[in-house]
Structure 1
Amino acid sequence: MPNARIAFPERTDVSTLMSFAKELDYYSQHDRLIIDMPNKVFCGPFAMLLLGAKIRYLKEKCKNLHVIFDNWDSLPYLSHMGFYDMCGFVHGNAIGQAPGNSRYLPITRLRSEDLVEKPTDQFEEMQDLLQRSVDRIALVLAHDQYENRDLYDVLGYALREVLRNSFEHGETNRVYYCAQYWPTSNKVEFAACDFGVGVRRGLSRNPNFRFDSDKKALECSLLPSVSGRTHEPRRSSNWFNSGYGLYMTNRLARNGGNFVICSGSSAICMTPKTKANFVTSFPGTILRVNLNVGQIGSVQDRLAEFREEGKEIAAKIKGSGNRPPSAMSLLLRRDYAPSNRGRR
């Protein structure tokens, strides 16, 4: 097919991003796709990951498609954050190359093998090793784990559950993340994505949760006690799959912020008062957690509140098994210590 030229979105609200991600599929059959970059655009962590991952996927899937960015030097921030490398181009910083600081973390790749940092780590559970990495990320954005304890706690919890979800359910060994803190508005956003099997296929491992659409699967995944593995034997007393991770995370995010999840042909955006569905196209799964720092409050109190509400909801879900939330899906890092639980 002939060449095509499209404009990079100048708005990066959820609706615009989802439409653009779907529109890109149409151009995958062309020989050459030129993407015109605007002179100015606000592009947060979620937008960078979503578009970077989608363009990278198309380039790898469609070997005859030649993608060109026109005017890409107009947005040096994207180059600095590793966006073009995420897209599959050698331009600007590589993924994870930018040093990051207390205001941002660039697009970074985390592989399961990266979690093993010393010989004794091979005897630890993956989730404990993941928590160690998550603690470092949370500390960068929270600045001080004691002075900004609530922010540190909510970041540590939400990041752990989001990244854990990719490794445990996405059937992938790598995940990408990016984060930004805006002190003026007192907001934090982090996003994570993977090129795994997606939510619908992940849930389908459980015969009770096999859906005929990505939309149904996404909506169900955000309910308590819903998981593709809740029917499986428990392999760990601390980290078994109770299906509460995404439920608790989206509830924390909506406590003054918002939560977005996208997989396959569907996406959901949830705020404290609204829920919106979008038709889109994304390989794997991508999530966004947007927090209003001033409205976080006591994370322990919020988790206790959401846990009780979750139990009532789970009791009404057919096939959930109504398992109680696993200990680690409810507790924060400071409430347990691996060294005190004995060697497994």
Structure 2
Amino acid sequence: MSNEIFLPIDLNENTAIEFSQKLRKFNLTSNKSVMIDITNFSKNNGRIEPFASLLVINSLRHFFAHCLKNDINYSIRYIKEHRIVNTYAKTLRFYSSLGLGIGETPDTDYVGSSMKNFIPIMRYPVKTIKQSLDEYNEIKKIAERIAIVASRGKEKLFKYIKFCLIELLRNIVEHSESKYFWYCAQYWSSINCVEIAIMDEGIGIHESLKKELDEDDINNALRFSLIPGCSSKPTTHYIDDAENSGFGLYMISEIGKENGDFIIASNKDLIKKCKTNEVENFTFLRGTIIRLRLNIEDLREYELELEELRKKGLQLTENYKIYREKKKYAPGTELPKLF
């Protein structure tokens, strides 16, 4: 097997997943070194999307950690900065997120506005939230800051993005055990679509739900994580004040499904949901990455959407509680139609 792995010119959902799968399949026992080649990517002005960029960054960081553990030399082949054609990747902080000295780092602060089309890759320390006087209020401020840029001044879109980000950030702080979270966003006016991607490099959903789910259900951990009422115990002290406590990922996944699409990837598994279908896949990463895409013209009324989802969520919560109770006394109970 060749010890070279090439980054595709275009980084979209499909190519990024395929690249992550290549890293997973790479034989670490029969190679003493590996080269990640990004020269073709840098020499061409290919497309690069938020979710795809974070998936590649996470997969490579995870892969390099495995290389170190197995005493395998690894390197990245790239071209000098003045020869780079894909300058958007530099502006997006993609190169620097791979540890290359090209462009601003993801730790650099970014002051955006509703006039911007994107938010570059950002890395934010979780301890900043945990050390604040009011964790929930700190999360809301971060969510609002991102939503202002990503919504481009559209009030309904702002409400949706803020709501979803608050719950995503809460999940990271409460359950991931990650030191940082990463995020970026893109608004495409040509197709009236916005994409927000957020990731952590924590323990992952399977590990987080290990005490909640039994051996029969843990392989479906990603699916169970989208059911209201299925959650590991929170580690934060503000849980009772949160507006959408307990319904988080369920509501976000449904909002994405009804108004665009939703992707959740954690460790080795991935699920994508949209109106027309649902797809499962596999990846190679540490922690969890979530993508929310919203088609702006198709957005339903915010308050109506949330009210309907809450009503549906309450029924699903009851169904899930009944299922868990039955399993205590009858292991192997068939899973009801929760998904």
TM over 0.5: yes
Amino acid in structure 2 at the alignment position of 1:35: D
Following superposition, the deviation at residue 281 of structure 1 comes to 1.6
* In structure 1, distance between residues paired with 2:285 and 2:244: 25
Q: Does 1:237 align with 2:240?
A: yes
Residue in 2 that maps onto 1:65: 73
Q: Secondary structure at the match of 2:165?
A: helix
1:200–1:213 contact (8 Å) kept in structure 2: no
SS at match of 1:184: coil
TM-superposed deviation, 1:214: 6.6
CA positional deviation for 1:275: 0.5
> In 2, Cα distance between the equivalents of 1:235 and 1:177?
23
Instruction: After superposing the two structures, state which structure 1 stretch, 301-310 or 63-72, moved more.
Output: 63-72
- Per mean C-alpha deviation after superposition, the further-off stretch among 290-299 and 88-97 is 88-97
- Give the count of matched residue pairs: 310
Query: Take 2:323 and 2:147, find their aligned partners in 1: how far apart are those partners?
Result: 31
Q: Residue 121 of structure 2 corresponds to which residue in structure 1? A: 107
In the TM superposition, residue 254 of structure 1 has moved relative to its aligned partner by 1.7
2:141 aligned residue = 132
Cα separation, 2, equivalents of 1:24 and 1:212: 29
In structure 2, C-alpha distance between the alignment counterparts of 1:318 and 1:19, rounded to whole Å: 37
Structure 2: which 5+ runs fail to align? 326-339
**Cα distance change of structure 1 residues 175 and 234 upon mapping to structure 2, 3 Å threshold:** closer
Change (3 A) 1:210 1:195: farther
2:213 is the alignment partner of 1:204: no
Match of 1:24 in 2: 23
Instruction: State how far apart, in whole Å, the 2-side matches of 1:87 and 1:213 are.
Output: 35
- Residue 46 of structure 1 aligns to which amino acid in structure 2? F
Calculate percent identity across the aligned residue pairs.
Answer: 26
Shifted more, 197-206 versus 60-69: the winner is: 60-69
What's the CA shift for 1:186?
A: 1.1
Pick one of 222, 226, 236 that aligns with 1:222: 226
Q: Which stretch shifts more, 218-227 or 232-241?
A: 232-241
Looking at structure 2, the residues matched to 257 and 185 of structure 1 have their Cα atoms a distance apart, in angstroms, of 12
* SS of residue in 2 equivalent to 1:123: coil
TM-score by length of 1: 0.81
Correspondence 1:123 to 2:133: yes
Q: Is the 8 A contact 2:12 2:47 kept in 1?
A: no
Do the aligned residues in 2 keep the contact of 1:96 with 1:106 (CA within 8 Å)?
A: no
State the shift of 1:48 in Å. 0.6
Q: TM-score under structure 2 normalisation? A: 0.82
Q: Could you report, residue by residue, the CA deviation over 1:198-254 in whole angstroms, capped at 9, with x for unpaired residues?
A: 001111232xx2456875100111112111128x99864313995310000111112
- How far apart, CA to CA, are the structure 2 residues paired with 1:278 and 1:10? 22
Aligned residue identity for 1:223: I
Distance 2:186 2:244 in 1: 29
Q: In the superposition, relative to structure 1, how do residues 66 and 306 fare at CA in structure 2: closer, same or farther (>3 Å)?
A: same
Structure 1 residues 13-37: Cα deviation after superposition (integer angstroms, max 9, x where no partner): 5344223212113447341313243
Secondary structure in 2 matching 1:93: coil
Tell me, in whole angstroms, the C-alpha distance in 1 between the residues paired with 2:11 and 2:5.
15
For residues 233 and 282 of structure 1, the distance between their equivalents in structure 2, rounded to whole angstroms, comes to 26
Residue correspondence of structure 1 range 36-75 to structure 2 within 5 A: 36=38, 37-38=40-41, 39-63=44-68, 64-71=72-79, 73-75=84-86
1:309-320 equivalences under 5 Å are: 309-318=312-321
Task: Return 5+ residue gaps in structure 1 as ranges.
Answer: 323-344
User: How far apart, in 2, do the equivalents of 1:213 and 1:74 lie?
Assistant: 47
Within 5 Å, give how 1:133-212 maps onto structure 2.
133-144=142-153, 148-206=154-212, 209-211=213-215
Cα distance, 1:187 vs structure 2: 0.6
Q: Equivalent residue for 1:282? A: 285
- Alpha-carbon contact 1:211-1:217 (below 8 Å) kept: no
Cα displacement string for residues 82-136 of structure 1 (whole angstroms, at most 9, x for unaligned residues)? 11222222222211546655211000011123348xxxx8432x12211111111
Q: Which amino acid is 2:89 matched to?
A: L
Q: Quick check: 1:196–1:283 contact (8 Å CA) kept in 2?
A: yes
* Letter in structure 2 aligned against 1:310: G
Q: Distance in 2 between matches of 1:110 and 1:196?
A: 14
Cα 1:8–1:123 shift into 2, 3 Å:
closer
